Amino acid sequence: MDTLEEFDHVVIFNSNDCRLKSFWPQDDFEYSTWLLDLESHIREALGTRAREVTGLNIPLKSGAVFLAIGLKLDPSFLYNSVIRGPRSGTDAGKYFRNFWGNKSEIRHLDGDLYECAIWESTKDITSQIVDYVLSRKLNTSNKTQSNLWYQVSCTSLNGILKSFSPPYSTLRLPARASTLHLINSLQSLRNILSGFNKHLPLNIMDVQPMSAEFRGTSVFAPIVDICDGTRKKKSADNPWHNVHHTLRPIYAILQIQSSGKWPKDDYAAFLHMKRLFLLRIKELLVHIGVPSKVVSTGMLDIFINGLILRLSFCHNFELKLLGRSLGLTKPYQFKAKKDLEEEYVEKEQEEYEPEPLTRWLTFNQRLPDVTSQLVAIARSHINTFPDACRLAKRWLSAHGFPVIQCPDISSEPVWGLDCEPVCLGDADLGASNCRLTEIAVELMVIHAGGFTEAVNTSSYSAGLPGSGSDRFLSTSPLVTFLRFLRLIYLFDWKNDILL
């Protein structure tokens, strides 16, 4: 595996620069000894931030070799801007102050005085530590160090993920909602809906986030509508009319209390009861002044905190009832070989099952479980997984492979019950025109970054050597993105299945 794909942070020294050799006596200069000394110095400075510090030789096509130090970082300490040392006034405290020099400060923590090193939280902290330690060790100035070594950090590509608006431009980008704002809005909606349980036939147990915006993996954060005092009175009286056609809905699924009250034999009756349930929620929202609207796909749009949350609920029995009513699921019966041959001949004469509907059923059955796992991974690797997903989606879109959003989750089939195939647009997951859903891209990023436990299959590690190793976990969006590109290039997508 390439060095940039293996290590989360790489420090590369310009070995061709004659000034680098001047920092070591000429008669006793050895690259390996010099590199080991710097390696131990950086390891001591990073402490628990680094899981591994390794000296490297990076060969070039010209035959030259660049010395480097590779770092594997611990995400739990990576973004801590304070290095807390021993108590001030002790022998250990004096050693800490001597090691860090003028960077050491005395801070009052937990009722005592400690030696600490403070770093700027707005910049990459690991890069700041390495630059300071190497400059102090080699006794170089800021101008000199920029030519002697270069750092490939976790945040090297983060600049292309930020929105750019020139200061001289009259165009102002719309306000965007942060992931924290989305989480708080969803929690506010949970509190509102849970208060309706005494007025509903079935209790609402939870509201599960589904869209990529909740995970922070969407290419662009959703636009938030901020009400100001410049709007006309007529517009203020009808806020729904202003935002419903401009804001993109964000999907979530209601988890309803299990009950035997649902119709068990008639799918049309089931849909009717489902629509009545959503209409009842809409009526209750009107009484507390929350704008809402039932859309044609059998879902409920709610405007809250400047966002449109599109809600539906997916009952497992609904999918089974739909498949049964269309003849897609039949009870299994043991048959003789002769009967199987006759059935095979009859099946060839029958019309094929509606593929769009089959995909729709499979999609709705698996999606809630998959998205819940994606949310958990995004929370556990909040500084790595979301940024890597956004990089991957932008790269695919820039190279002519548009990444589409998931279709209306748990919505009613737009083709009804007549089983006639129709053009579903983005909802057609089987369309072969070089498109990928957001969830498909995120699952590949999970594999590339090692965010889940490895599966012991030959196809799993075919695209990425070493993916089964315990040290494969990445804490760098850049490293994860580079592994994602290697996975796309090397994996045999035509013949293998990525498991």
The token duo for 162 is 């930020």
C-alpha to C-alpha distances, 89 to 9, 86, 116, 189, nearest whole angstrom: 34, 9, 13, 53
Burial of 307 (0-12, 13-18, 19+ CB in 10 A): buried
Q: Is the pLDDT of residue 246 over 70?
A: no
Q: Say if residue 147 is in the same domain as residue 196.
A: no
Q: Which residues have CB under 8 Å from 257's CB, separation 6+?
A: 202, 203, 204, 205
- Give the count of domains, the chain: 3
* pLDDT averaged over every residue in the chain: 77
pLDDT confidence band for 38 (50 / 70 / 90): confident
> The domain spanning residue 291 has which CATH number?
3.30.460
Residues 190, 134, single domain; the answer is no
Of the residues 293, 326, 359, which one is the last residue of a structural domain? 326
Let me know whether 75 and 26 are in one domain.
yes
The confidence score (pLDDT) of residue 185 equals: 92
Q: What mean pLDDT comes out for the span 316-335?
A: 61
In a shared domain, residues 135 and 219:
no
- Count each helix (H run) and each strand (E run) in the chain, helices first: 16, 14
Both structure tokens of 266: 């008639």
**What pLDDT, on the 0 to 100 scale, is given for residue 321?**
76
**Are 302 and 409 contained in the same domain?**
no
> What stretches of 224-336 show up as alpha helix (H) in DSSP?
233-237, 239-243, 267-287, 316-325
Query: Looking at the structure, do residues 317 and 436 belong to the same domain, yes or no?
Result: no
- The pTM (predicted TM-score) of the whole model is 0.78
Residues 309 and 381 in one domain: no
* Residue of higher predicted confidence among 230 and 4: 4
Q: Give yes or no: residues 17 and 135 share one domain.
A: yes
The whole-angstrom separation of Cα 226 and Cα 362 is 38
Residue 249 lies in a domain: yes
Q: Is the pLDDT of residue 488 over 60?
A: yes
Domain contains 38: yes
Domain stops at, among 276, 310, 326 = 326
Express each pLDDT in 247-269 by its tens digit.
Answer: 788 888 888 887 777 777 777 88
Q: Among residues 147, 11, 27, 124, which one has the least CA distance to residue 78?
A: 124
371 and 444, same domain (yes or no): yes
Report the alpha-carbon distance of residue 347 to residue 365 in Å, rounded: 26
Sign (positive or negative) of CA dihedral 377, 436, 488, 2: negative
| Between 290 and 28, residue with greater pLDDT | 290
Answer yes or no: is pLDDT of 421 > 50: no
- Say yes or no: 14 and 150 in one domain: yes
Residues 244, 304 contacting (CB under 8 angstroms): no
Residue 282 lies in a domain: yes
d(CA 7, CA 54) in angstroms, rounded, equals: 9
Mean pLDDT of 55-67: 80
Domain membership of residue 335 (yes or no) is no
- The arithmetic mean of pLDDT across residues 103-116, rounded, is 89
Higher pLDDT, 155 or 282: 282
Q: What is the DSSP letter of 176?
A: B
* Residue 361 located in a structural domain: no
Within 13 Å and on the Cβ side, how many CA atoms surround 246? 12
Q: Which residue has the higher pLDDT, 164 or 322?
A: 322
Residue 336 lies in a domain: no
Q: How far apart are CA 469 and CA 52, in angstroms?
A: 15
For residue 193, the model assigns a pLDDT of 93
Mean pLDDT of 333-351: 48
Same domain, 220 and 282: yes
pLDDT for res 140: 77
Give the tens place of pLDDT for each residue, 380-394: 998 899 999 999 998
Are residues 148 and 252 both part of a single domain? no
Provide the pLDDT for residue 21: 63
CATH number, domain with residue 33: 3.30.70
Residue-wise pLDDT for 132-187, tens only, equals 998 888 877 665 556 788 888 888 877 767 655 555 555 556 677 888 888 899 99
Domain that holds residue 127: 3-81+119-156
Residue 338 lies in a domain: no
**485 pLDDT exceeds 60?**
yes
Q: Among 151-155, 197-201, 237-241, 373-377, whose mean pLDDT is lowest?
A: 237-241
Q: Is residue 169 part of a domain?
A: no
Q: Which two tokens stand for residue 218?
A: 């969407």
pLDDT, position 389: 92
Who has greater pLDDT, 128 or 240? 128
Predicted local distance difference test score (pLDDT) of residue 345? 46
